[in-house]
């Protein structure tokens, strides 16, 4: 058995990210020579290794174990001096050898999701890799496999069944999974991501079959560094981590929140082109306060109340330290679905020492700001000309509010404190005002303005007279008919964003927004809604989905070698997304571009983010590519089957 480290990025000076340690166990030696060539993101090799006529071995024991090996390493990667992905567009014509832990042939090859091609193995490959008799005689193309899988998935009527079918495919044929998702992104995005992923997390204990990420619980305290080394991939560039306390709008799901990091990283690959072997899903299990889960015999997490304060902080600090020790300074850590009381503190604490990004705070803010900027082309004016009212003052609400204020300040040179006065927030106790400031959490205090206290949302609408109403409350049907009609009375074209996920928690439906505003609302939601027909006109609701932003944002950080996230990068991502909304989209009532173009959208976002990283002096990959869009495209993972030797 040959066991080799691998890397998602290589350069012409050597192996990036891991040492060139090799261990061998040969059950039988090859007759003449074995050549293991760098495979791709799913390879366990990160070098060309030539072992010819057994000359490389200094000593071979009788049981076939190598006591010592001297291996010549020659790195040959297309692209000159630039660092590239193994499975990017620049290397798609190169031949690969499907060897991972051992020479992957026969039955083992069909059980390896990274290299399995099912019925797409050619006649030549079936002979070369001992597959004769293990497959039916038919040879079919990957495109026909996609057609067949879509036919099967569409037969399922229950979304969770579709989700499970997709997860099974990911674990049996990784390339086909991503090809399927990329080619049918608009249809399958709601299956692998919100809203279906919410139900998957709720039932994760019942549907759990095999590990797809790393579970770090309080039992692992003191040995997280070693636990991370148990993950087979060594060169990780993106980690999505959750502690499961605030999964979507569903609350504390504890260890079962793992469905979120898995889903997010699937989108990093499918939508942003980050190679799958560079992605690591992580769940931090510190217990759960969900009594139903604690009493569920199928629950897979720690059966204890949540750890807090010092116990929690020490585990997170050990995790963050271990990540940098294992994967280096440039690994992106995306915080996902942490509760407010931890999310803001973690972002503030590690934002200056690690490359960290909170999707709920920053990703949501960036995608919503893009929608607002695009909507201005319909309603007119600048951001500074509008007034904003938020229902919800948690991570998403305050994150959107702050990024919007930053953009207003940037456009007008207005002091940030003045820009914030154009934005009002409502929480569970009513409008956030100065008279409440002593009782407010720290992240709410910047939004406490001089205003009389108001309890009801409809009164806040009439009192602050907003042109934009944004819901991030996590409470469904709070944008009542009375509220929407009040917005329509104040504005010819009221902007209404109902962003809470999943669909059941949305502040209002698309149909309600269009009907109650008499077809005048500019509407967007967090989860998808079907088109709405009102008085003979069809309205296509926009979806302010974070999937527009974080895959391209992450790719931009990776390809520039950024070491920190800066607010200006988020603004750059928003501007890049808004710029891709065409007049044709506006004519259909859309303020976001269609998802079918998401890879091109992500490439443009990545280029803008990378450009900002270079401008700010935060990029480490030098020299800067001349055409960042083309460079981003060339770095994207390509799920098409590779030709095997």
- Cβ atoms 346, 316 nearer than 8 A: yes
- 10 Å Cβ neighbour count for 126? 16
Domain boundary among 358, 376, 398: 358
- Cβ atoms 396, 404 nearer than 8 A: no
Determine, yes or no, domain membership for 2: no
Across 565-591, average pLDDT: 93
Query: 345 and 425 share a domain?
Result: no
Query: pLDDT digits over 351-407, tens only?
Result: 999 999 999 999 999 999 999 999 999 999 999 999 999 999 999 999 999 999 999
pTM for the full model?
0.83
Determine, yes or no, domain membership for 69: no
pLDDT given at position 295? 95
Residue bearing the bigger pLDDT, 1 or 252? 252
Determine, yes or no, domain membership for 407: yes
Distance CA 605, CA 636 (A): 13
Query: 345 and 238 share a domain?
Result: yes
First to last CA, the chain: 19
Q: Evaluate if residue 89 carries a pLDDT over 80.
A: no
pLDDT given at position 167? 95
Q: Evaluate if residue 38 carries a pLDDT over 60.
A: no
User: Is 291 strand, coil or helix?
Assistant: helix
The tokens describing 588, both together, are 């259909």
- Report the range of poorest mean pLDDT among 52-66, 120-134, 242-256, 448-462: 52-66
Helix-strand-coil split of the chain, %, nearest 5: 45, 15, 40
Domain boundary among 305, 339, 358: 358
Q: Is 501 annotated as a binding residue?
A: yes
Query: 483 and 537 share a domain?
Result: yes
The tokens describing 429, both together, are 């106790």
CATH number, residue 485: 3.40.50.720
Closest C-alpha to 257, from 213, 202, 206, 296: 202
Determine, yes or no, domain membership for 292: yes
Determine, yes or no, domain membership for 17: no
**Percent of the chain whose predicted confidence (pLDDT) is above 90:** 76
Query: 120 and 177 share a domain?
Result: no
Q: Evaluate if residue 449 carries a pLDDT over 50.
A: yes
C-alpha pair distances (Å), 257 with each of 197, 252, 497? 10, 8, 26
Q: What angle do CA 312, 315, 321 make, to 5 degrees?
A: 135
Closest C-alpha to 616, from 577, 573, 580, 569: 569
Query: 158 and 182 share a domain?
Result: yes
Across 457-465, average pLDDT: 97
* Burial class of residue 177 in the structure, from the number of CB atoms within 10 Å of its CB (0-12 exposed, 13-18 middle, 19+ buried): buried
CA 505 to chain CA centroid, nearest Å = 21
Determine, yes or no, domain membership for 39: no
pLDDT given at position 181? 97
Domain count, the chain: 5
Average pLDDT, the chain: 86
Query: 243 and 165 share a domain?
Result: no
The tokens describing 238, both together, are 């993106």
Distance CA 363, CA 380 (A): 25
pLDDT given at position 224? 98
Closest C-alpha to 179, from 486, 548, 638, 516: 638
Distance CA 395, CA 137 (A): 55
- Strands 332-335 and 238-242 turn out to be parallel
pLDDT given at position 99? 58
Across 577-602, average pLDDT: 91
Phi and psi at residue 543, to the nearest 5°: -120, 110
Closest C-alpha to 212, from 240, 243, 175: 240
Determine, yes or no, domain membership for 378: yes
- 10 Å Cβ neighbour count for 93? 9
pLDDT given at position 86? 53
pLDDT given at position 195? 87
Closest C-alpha to 411, from 369, 474, 378: 369
Q: How long, in residues, is the chain? A: 645
Query: 199 and 338 share a domain?
Result: yes
Q: Evaluate if residue 128 carries a pLDDT over 70.
A: yes
Q: Which residues are 391's β-sheet partners?
A: 426, 471
Q: Is 87 annotated as a binding residue?
A: no
Q: Which residues does 308 contact at the CB level (< 8 Å), separation at least 6?
A: none
pLDDT given at position 527? 83
CATH number, residue 325: 3.40.50.10380
Q: Evaluate if residue 265 carries a pLDDT over 50.
A: yes
Determine, yes or no, domain membership for 32: no
CA 89 to chain CA centroid, nearest Å = 21
Across 608-630, average pLDDT: 97
My answer on whether omega of the bond before 502 falls inside 30° of 0, hence cis, is yes
CATH number, residue 184: 1.20.1370.30
Domain boundary among 302, 336, 358: 358
Query: pLDDT digits over 199-219, tens only?
Result: 999 999 888 888 899 999 999
Query: pLDDT digits over 143-185, tens only?
Result: 999 999 999 999 999 999 999 999 999 999 999 999 999 999 9
Q: Evaluate if residue 226 carries a pLDDT over 70.
A: yes
User: Is 66 strand, coil or helix?
Assistant: strand
Q: Is 336 annotated as a binding residue?
A: yes
**Percent of the chain whose predicted confidence (pLDDT) is above 70:** 85
Domain that holds residue 112: 103-140
Q: What is the DSSP string of 87-150?
A: TBGGGTTS-B---SSS---HHHHHT-TTT--GGG--HHHHHHTT-TTTS-S----HHHHHHHHH
- 10 Å Cβ neighbour count for 52? 12
Query: 404 and 515 share a domain?
Result: yes
Across 10-36, average pLDDT: 33
CA 193 to chain CA centroid, nearest Å = 10
pLDDT given at position 10? 33
Query: 324 and 415 share a domain?
Result: no
Q: Evaluate if residue 617 carries a pLDDT over 70.
A: yes
Query: 131 and 277 share a domain?
Result: no
Phi and psi at residue 153, to the nearest 5°: -65, -40
Query: 347 and 213 share a domain?
Result: yes
Query: pLDDT digits over 405-414, tens only?
Result: 999 999 999 9
Residue bearing the bigger pLDDT, 28 or 290? 290
Give the residue numbers annotated as catalytic, written as ranges. 193, 264
Q: Evaluate if residue 555 carries a pLDDT over 70.
A: yes
Q: Is 360 annotated as a binding residue?
A: yes
pLDDT given at position 75? 32
Query: 369 and 483 share a domain?
Result: yes
């Amino acid at each position: 058995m040959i066991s080799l480290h691998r890397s998602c990025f290589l350069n012409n000076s050597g192996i990036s990210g891991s040492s060139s340690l090799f261990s061998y166990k040969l059950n039988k030696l090859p007759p003449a020579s074995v050549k293991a060539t760098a495979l791709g993101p799913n390879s366990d090799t990160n070098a060309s290794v030539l072992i010819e006529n057994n000359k490389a071995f200094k000593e071979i024991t009788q049981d076939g174990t190598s006591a010592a090996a001297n291996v010549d390493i020659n790195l040959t990667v297309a692209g000159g001096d630039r660092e590239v992905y193994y499975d990017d567009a620049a290397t798609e014509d190169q031949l690969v050898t499907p060897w991972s832990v051992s020479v992957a042939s026969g039955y083992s090859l069909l059980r390896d999701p990274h290299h399995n091609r099912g019925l797409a193995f050619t006649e030549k490959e079936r002979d070369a890799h001992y597959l004769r008799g293990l497959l039916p005689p038919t040879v079919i193309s990957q495109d026909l496999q996609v057609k067949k899988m879509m036919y099967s998935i569409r037969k399922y009527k229950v979304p969770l069944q579709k989700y499970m079918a997709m997860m099974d495919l990911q674990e049996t044929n990784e390339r086909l999974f991503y090809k399927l998702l990329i080619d049918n992104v608009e249809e399958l995005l709601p299956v692998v991501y919100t809203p279906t992923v919410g139900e998957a997390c709720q039932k994760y204990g019942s549907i759990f079959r095999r590990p797809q990420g790393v579970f770090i619980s309080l039992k692992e305290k003191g040995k997280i560094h070693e636990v991370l080394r148990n993950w087979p991939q060594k060169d990780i560039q993106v980690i999505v981590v959750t502690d499961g306390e605030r999964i979507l709008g569903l609350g504390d799901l504890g260890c079962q929140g793992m469905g979120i990091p898995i889903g997010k990283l699937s989108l990093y690959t499918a939508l942003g082109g980050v190679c799958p072997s560079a992605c690591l899903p992580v769940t931090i299990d510190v217990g759960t306060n969900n009594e139903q889960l604690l009493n569920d015999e199928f629950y897979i997490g720690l059966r204890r109340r949540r750890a807090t304060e010092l116990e929690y902080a020490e585990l997170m600090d050990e995790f963050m330290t271990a990540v940098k020790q294992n994967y280096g300074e440039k690994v992106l850590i995306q915080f996902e679905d942490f509760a407010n009381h931890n999310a803001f503190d973690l972002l503030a604490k590690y934002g200056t020492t690690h490359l960290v990004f909170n999707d709920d705070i920053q990703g949501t803010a960036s995608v919503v700001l893009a929608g607002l900027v695009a909507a201005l082309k319909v309603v007119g004016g600048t951001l500074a000309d509008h007034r904003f009212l938020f229902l919800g003052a948690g991570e998403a609400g305050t994150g959107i509010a702050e990024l919007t204020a930053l953009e207003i300040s940037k456009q007008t040179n207005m002091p940030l404190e003045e820009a914030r006065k154009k934005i009002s927030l409502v929480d569970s106790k009513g409008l956030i005002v100065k008279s409440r400031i002593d009782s407010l959490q720290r992240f709410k205090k910047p939004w406490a303005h001089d205003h009389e206290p108001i309890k009801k949302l409809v009164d806040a609408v009439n009192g602050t007279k907003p042109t934009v109403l944004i819901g991030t409350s996590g409470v469904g049907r709070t944008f009542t008919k009375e509220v929407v009609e009040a917005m329509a009375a104040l504005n010819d074209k009221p902007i209404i964003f109902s962003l809470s996920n999943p669909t059941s928690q949305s502040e209002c439906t698309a149909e309600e927004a269009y009907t109650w505003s008499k077809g005048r609302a500019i509407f967007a939601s967090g989860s998808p809604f079907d088109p709405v027909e009102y008085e003979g006109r069809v309205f296509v609701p926009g979806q302010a989905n974070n999937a527009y932003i974080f895959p391209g944002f992450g790719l931009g950080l990776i390809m520039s070698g950024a070491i920190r996230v800066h607010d200006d990068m988020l603004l750059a991502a928003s501007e890049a997304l808004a710029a891709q909304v065409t007049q044709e989209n506006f004519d259909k009532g859309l303020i976001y571009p269609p998802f079918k173009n998401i890879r091109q959208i992500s490439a443009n976002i990545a280029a803008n983010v990378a450009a900002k990283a270079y401008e700010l002096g935060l990029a480490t990959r030098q020299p800067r590519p001349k055409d960042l869009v083309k460079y981003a495209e060339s770095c994207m993972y390509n799920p098409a089957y590779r030709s095997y030797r």
